[in-house]
Amino acid sequence: MIDADATLKALAEPRRREILRLVGERELSAGQVATHFDVSRPAISQHLGVLRQAGLISERREGARRIYAAIPGRIEELNEYLTGFWGEGLAALKVAAEAEQRRPSHSAD
């Protein structure tokens, strides 16, 4: 199972979502990513670190450069996690509602 907490915290930041979108289109060096934003390069470097620790992007060394790219499949895993912990609840609600219809004398709390 993915680290849902780290993944959601990483995605909760608009700038990081934009970075992820960029490296999802094509792999980019840290400096290339930084040129797309008005913030300083160290700020981007920190964002990249958060995304990498969350397992959303990969890092590859190429000389002095660091090339980053989105890791395929992570979003699907997150979707499965989210659907999972909500899907069970919805199923339970549905079953409860149907049972309720067949037992109108049921005294709820």
27 is a site residue for DNA (CB under 7 A): no
Amino acid letter, 10: A
**How far apart (Å, rounded) are the C-alpha atoms in residues 4 and 98?**
32
Q: Which does 76 bind (CB under 5 to 8 A by kind): DNA, its own copies, none?
A: its own copies
**How far apart (Å, rounded) are the C-alpha atoms in residues 86 and 89?**
5
The residue ranges that bind its own copies (CB under 8 A) are: 4-5, 8-9, 11-12, 14, 17, 20-21, 24-26, 60, 69-70, 72-73, 75-76, 78-79, 82-83, 85-94, 96-97, 109
Q: Using the structure block, give the residue that is written with the tokens 């990513």.
A: 33
